[in-house]
């Protein structure tokens, strides 16, 4: 039987899952703390948390790095959901840290790209520790599959509502939740080189999603299939527990 996705059913299950997670593991006033980028994932995850917990138990954190050209999307989301929010600009923190690092070595491109994501996660945990909250991981299955996330950055969190949903499915859930179209279908851009996520990856999410769900074996695109398989294997460490020595 071919895989099919029922957005209405899964949306209801998702809301119940978040509600049950907090009911079973947290106190009644524990907050969900979420980084707000204004993209589909943070928008959908935040909306799910509001449906599950109520807007008074969801806190959004906007974390621009200096000037952020598309921060209006983040503000649109928090205004649409009516959630309390804070803006913590990480620009000076990133600059100061990189300045200190450069006294000892020249940071690689990977360090430049990943450090802001890890500082954002540090910020979220600082807010969560202050308000009594749990940090929402906003990664989806498609990005996790090929490692398009930063370990201990956006790949971290206390609970993950979207990590079993592909990008295609997250979009459908966003539509089911009635979120503004410009948030659900905002084209994700990395914010560094100006390229879209799909341009950086070298294939579309539609191709990746059908491959993940077994709807297309990508036999017509052997190079893309090989790249996806290679990325998946190379980045599994981001999803697995840290290897540890065990006494015999």
Give residue-wise pLDDT tens across range 96-118: 999 999 999 999 999 999 999 99
173/9 Cα distance (integer angstroms): 10
pLDDT surpasses 80 at 230: yes
| Residue 4 Cα distances to 15, 16, 74, 112, 214, angstroms | 20, 21, 31, 40, 11
SS3 196: strand
SS3 233: helix
Domains of the chain, with CATH numbers? Answer: 7-186 (3.40.50.620)
9/99 Cα distance (integer angstroms): 50
Helix, strand, coil shares, percent, the chain, to 5: 50, 10, 40
Q: Which residues pair with 134 in a beta bridge?
A: 32
Q: Where are the alpha helices (DSSP H) in 132-243?
A: 141-145, 167-176, 181-184, 197-201, 205-212, 222-234
- The torsion angle over the Cα atoms of residues 169, 78, 143 and 178, rounded to 10 degrees, is 10
pLDDT surpasses 60 at 141: yes
Q: Given this model, what pLDDT does residue 194 score?
A: 66
48-62, 63-77, 218-232, range with the lowest pLDDT: 63-77
Task: Write out pLDDT tens, residues 22-44.
Answer: 999 999 999 999 999 999 999 99
Task: Write out pLDDT tens, residues 173-194.
Answer: 999 999 999 999 988 776 555 6
- The pLDDT confidence band at residue 70, using thresholds 50, 70 and 90, is confident
């Amino acid at each position: 039987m071919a895989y099919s996705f029922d957005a209405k059913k899964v949306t209801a299950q998702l809301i119940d899952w978040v509600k049950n997670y907090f009911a079973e593991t947290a106190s009644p006033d524990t907050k969900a703390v979420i980084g707000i980028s204004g993209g589909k994932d943070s928008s959908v995850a935040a909306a799910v948390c509001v449906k599950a917990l109520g807007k008074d138990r969801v806190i959004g954190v906007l974390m621009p790095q200096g000037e952020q050209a598309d921060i209006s999307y983040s503000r649109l989301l928090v205004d649409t959901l009516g959630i309390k929010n804070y803006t913590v600009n990480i620009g000076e923190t990133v600059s100061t840290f990189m300045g200190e690092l450069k006294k000892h070595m020249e940071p690689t491109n990977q360090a430049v790209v990943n450090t802001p994501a890890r500082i954002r996660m540090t910020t979220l945990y600082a807010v969560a520790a202050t308000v009594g909250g749990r940090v929402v991981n906003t990664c989806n299955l498609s990005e996790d599959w090929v490692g398009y996330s930063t370990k201990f950055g956006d790949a971290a969190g206390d609970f993950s509502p979207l990590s079993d949903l592909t990008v295609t499915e997250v979009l459908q859930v966003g539509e089911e939740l009635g979120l503004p179209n410009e948030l659900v279908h905002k084209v994700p851009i990395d914010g560094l080189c100006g390229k879209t996520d799909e341009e950086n990856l070298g294939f579309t999410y539609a191709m990746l999603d059908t491959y993940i769900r077994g709807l297309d074996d990508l036999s017509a695109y052997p190079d893309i299939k090989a790249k996806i398989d290679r990325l998946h294997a190379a980045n599994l460490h981001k999803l697995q527990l840290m290897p540890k020595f065990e006494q015999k």
